[in-house]
């Protein structure tokens, strides 16, 4: 698999680390209900299809959001976290 680092361009999978669903970027407010934190930490849509997830380009230290299909492994789009949360 190949992914496109927003800084470095397209690279081999072995340069990246996966960090789970991109909802990790949507950290609840500090005073949010425990249920909100539970969903943030544990509950996953886990689709067999298109998903948004976090990847880390280890050599350059860039975090990114990838739109990827978990059934086909097709990578549709990658972007910086800032672009993803706009």
Q: Give contact residues for another protein (rule: CB under 8 A).
A: 1-2, 6-9, 11-15, 17-21, 24-25, 27-28, 30, 32, 34-35, 37-39, 41-48, 51, 53-63, 68, 70-75, 80-82
Nearest approach, Cβ of residue 21 and another protein (Å) = 7
Q: In DSSP terms, which residues pair with 56 in a beta bridge?
A: 17, 63
Cβ atoms of residues 2 and 12 within 8 Å: yes
Nearest approach, Cβ of residue 82 and another protein (Å) = 5
Minimum CB distance to another protein smaller for 58 or for 77? 58
Q: Give the separation between CA 76 and CA 73, rounded to whole angstroms.
A: 9
Q: What tokens were used for 27?
A: 């950290």
Q: Of 3, 4, 5, 19, whose CA–CA distance to 62 is shortest?
A: 5
Minimum CB distance to another protein smaller for 77 or for 82? 82
Q: In DSSP terms, which residues pair with 11 in a beta bridge?
A: 3
Nearest approach, Cβ of residue 77 and another protein (Å) = 14
């Amino acid at each position: 698999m190949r992914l496109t680092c927003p800084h470095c361009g397209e690279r081999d999978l072995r340069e990246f680390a996966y960090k789970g669903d991109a909802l990790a970027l949507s950290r609840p407010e500090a005073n949010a209900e425990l249920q909100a934190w539970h969903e943030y930490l544990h509950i996953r849509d886990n689709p067999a299809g298109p998903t948004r997830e976090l990847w880390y380009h280890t050599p350059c230290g860039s975090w990114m959001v990838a739109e990827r299909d978990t059934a086909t492994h097709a990578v549709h789009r990658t972007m910086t976290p800032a672009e993803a949360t706009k």
